[in-house]
Amino acid sequence: MTGWLERLLRTIGAAALLLLFALIVAQVAMRYGFGVTPFFTEEMARYALVWSVLAGVAVSIRTDGHIRVTFVPDLLRPGARWYWMRALDLLTAALLSILTVAAVRTVDFAGGQTSDGLQVSLQYPYAALPVAFGLGLVFLIVRLRQSWSGRPWKGAG
């Protein structure tokens, strides 16, 4: 299940990045080549950037590829390192839970607002927040469950 969700997020992120690139190239070409800039390109590019970054955040949680400072875990023995990393994962899960709830409230709040250029509901660009944080939380819970089988004392005694 999580593999499918990861592929979906990677596809969304890549499509958003491709859209961002195309919009910026079109905007620059039209501005300097024809002296006119379509009103929607900058706003759509901004939304595409948000979606690509937040999809990448969720995928990096799934793959354990996020940036971290490792000098403390490197100083610890394997058993203590395992506990340290799980404690950080639990703190991250708590943070993602709070962010997901706040993001859902933000999307609900944005329901009555429209964007300046495109005149679309702001719920659509803001929907990236609960999607990314919620799926990041799911991925982290799965990773925590899997880490239990990789605990250092497994099979000892």
Q: Are 137 and 97 in contact (CB under 8 A)?
A: yes
The pLDDT value recorded for residue 153 is 66
Q: Are 138 and 5 in contact (CB under 8 A)?
A: yes
Summarised one tens digit per residue, pLDDT across range 21-78 is: 999 999 999 999 999 988 888 999 999 999 999 999 999 999 888 877 888 888 999 8
In sequence order, what DSSP letters do the residues of 17-69 get, joined into one string?
Answer: HHHHHHHHHHHHHHHHHHS---TTHHHHHHHHHHHHHHHHHHHHHHHT-S---
The pLDDT value recorded for residue 142 is 93
Which of helix, strand or coil describes residue 115?
A: coil
